[in-house]
A = this chain, B = another copy of it.
């Protein structure tokens, strides 16, 4: 059972720690009196400062319209404690249901955007659309992360990594090679 996590601020230039390993994420959105959650696996960090994240949001998703119109979203990081919720969110449509209610996820007020944070996630990154020039051709949104909330522990959360076909790889052992890095590469 997943419970709300208490979070602290992380400098937005450091979100690569959580997104570069490639986890599936839950993207929340809001526009007018509608809100929604979608799963997303196609995303990449693009820059440290400004803190940019590029991602694909397919046009068929109810969230696509909410995000394109509001120009905002929150990228939330679930762990294996939320596996069933991740699968449920990915296999339902926000046209028909309120996914917060259906999957017992707790919306929290964000600081800079109207889209809600998901309290049970390990981290939440508030995003504003920075560049929409590739939306019409590729459904590719470039967001700037304007605020990052992260649970203090564990340091390496057990994230979910989607491989297709209903199968997830989960985060395994952590290994450090820090001593082999040139300082400029850290």
Residues of A within 8 A of B (CB): 14, 16-18, 20-23, 41-47, 52, 54-56, 80, 83-84, 87-88, 90-91, 133-134, 138, 140, 142, 156, 158-159, 161-182, 185-186
- Nearest 7 pairs between A and B by C-beta? A22-B22, A172-B172, A166-B178, A21-B161, A44-B44, A166-B181, A87-B177
The one of B22, B83, B90, B175 in contact with A167, judged by C-beta atoms closer than 8 angstroms, is: B175
Check B91 against A185 for contact (C-beta < 8 Å): yes
The one of B45, B165, B176 in contact with A178, judged by C-beta atoms closer than 8 angstroms, is: B165
The one of B41, B90, B170 in contact with A20, judged by C-beta atoms closer than 8 angstroms, is: B41
Check A46 against B41 for contact (C-beta < 8 Å): no
8 new A-B contacts, CB < 8 A, other than A46-B56, A166-B181, A170-B174, are: A20-B22, A20-B41, A21-B163, A88-B180, A90-B181, A138-B142, A166-B186, A170-B175
Oligomeric state, in number of copies? 2
The one of B47, B55, B138, B172 in contact with A169, judged by C-beta atoms closer than 8 angstroms, is: B172
How far is A45 from B40 in the complex, measured between Cα atoms in Å? 11
Check B22 against A83 for contact (C-beta < 8 Å): no
Task: Please give the distance in Å from A113's CB to the nearest CB on chain B.
Answer: 22
Task: Tell me which of A55, A161, A165, A180 has the highest count of chain B C-beta atoms within 10 A of its own C-beta.
Answer: A161
Q: Return chain B residues, CB-CB under 8 Å to A14.
A: 164
How far is A179 from B166 in the complex, measured between Cα atoms in Å? 8
Smallest CB-CB separation from A130: which chain B residue? B138
Known: A140-B54, A166-B186, A167-B175. A87 touches B161 (CB 8 A): no
Known: A22-B161, A181-B91. A169 touches B167 (CB 8 A): no
